[in-house]
């Protein structure tokens, strides 16, 4: 493969999903897209050019849940390769004010007047999580495995290299 990265025809992106925990429950958002069964995900979305991972995690939490949060570290990194799509999933921990109320936000990528893809917002216990369709499957498995420690084992984020 050469250096012409755009020639592959593959949809490539980095998605930052945010783990927000309260009293042993995770905050999840439900998506409903045309021609597809509804599914749950961590609040999050694509990293924008020039945006850092912490900035993306905090922005996505605000857009999708109305909560203001602070980046608290990286929990894990995984990849999704399927059907012409390659997504690097970064799961970050975001801390929010314990008394703040989450409200269902919107997906700014949905055209005005179109049906929103975000349909529900819910705090989900570990037991509930086991029975939900949360995508991608690898992240669901990891969230269940890390539930005992409260999703607190954050990896090291080395920061951005703009200063170099």
Give the predicted TM-score (pTM) of the model.
0.86
Q: What is the 3 state secondary structure string of 20-60?
A: CEECCEEEEEEECCCCCCCEEECCEEECCCCCCHHHHHHHH
* Distance from the first to the final alpha carbon of the chain: 29
> Is 155 part of any domain?
no
Per-10-residue mean pLDDT of the chain, 164 residues long, equals 59 95 95 89 96 97 96 92 90 94 83 79 96 92 89 73 52
Give yes or no for a contact between 153 and 146, defined as CB atoms under 8 angstroms apart: yes
Q: Is position 3 within any domain?
A: no
Q: Please tell me the distance from the alpha carbon of residue 159 to that of residue 53, in angstroms, as a whole number.
A: 9
pLDDT at 83: 82
Domain membership flag for residue 68? yes
Distance between CA atoms of residues 144 and 162, nearest Å: 35
Query: Is there a domain that residue 110 lies in?
Result: no
On whether the CB atoms of residues 75 and 93 are closer than 8 A, the answer is yes
26: domain CATH number?
Answer: 3.90.79.10
Give the pLDDT of residue 161.
Answer: 58
Q: How far is CA 24 from CA 29, 98, 125, 127, 148, in A?
A: 17, 12, 6, 10, 9
Label the pairing between strands 85-96 and 11-19: parallel
Number of domains within the chain: 1
Q: Give residue 131's domain range.
A: 12-97+117-149
Residue 61 inside a domain? The answer is yes
Half-sphere exposure of 2 (CA within 13 A, CB side): 4
SS3 5: helix
Which pLDDT value is given to residue 4?
53
What confidence score (pLDDT) does residue 7 get? Answer: 56
The gap from C-alpha 104 to its chain's centroid, in whole angstroms, comes to 15
Residue 58 domain-assigned?
yes
| Distance from chain centroid for Cα 127 | 20
- Residue in the structure block whose two tokens are 């958002």: 29
The pLDDT score that the predictor gives to residue 6 is 55
And the tokens for 13? 């992106």
Cα–Cα distance, 86 to 5 (Å, whole number): 12
């Amino acid at each position: 493969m050469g250096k012409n990265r755009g020639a592959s025809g593959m949809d490539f992106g980095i998605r930052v999903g945010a783990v927000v925990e309260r009293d042993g429950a995770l905050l999840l958002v439900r998506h409903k897209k045309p021609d597809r069964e509804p599914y749950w995900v961590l609040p999050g979305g694509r990293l924008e050019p020039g945006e850092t991972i912490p900035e993306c995690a905090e922005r996505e939490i605000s857009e999708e849940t109305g909560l203001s949060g602070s980046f608290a570290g990286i929990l894990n990194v995984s990849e999704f390769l399927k059907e012409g799509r390659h997504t690097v999933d970064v799961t970050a921990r975001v801390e929010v004010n314990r008394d703040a109320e989450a409200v269902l936000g919107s997906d700014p990528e949905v055209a005005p007047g179109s049906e929103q893809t975000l349909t529900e917002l819910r705090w989900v216990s570990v037991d509930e999580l086991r029975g939900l369709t949360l995508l991608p499957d690898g992240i669901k498995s990891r969230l269940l495995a890390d539930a005992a420690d409260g999703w607190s084992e954050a990896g090291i984020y080395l920061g951005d290299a703009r200063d170099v």
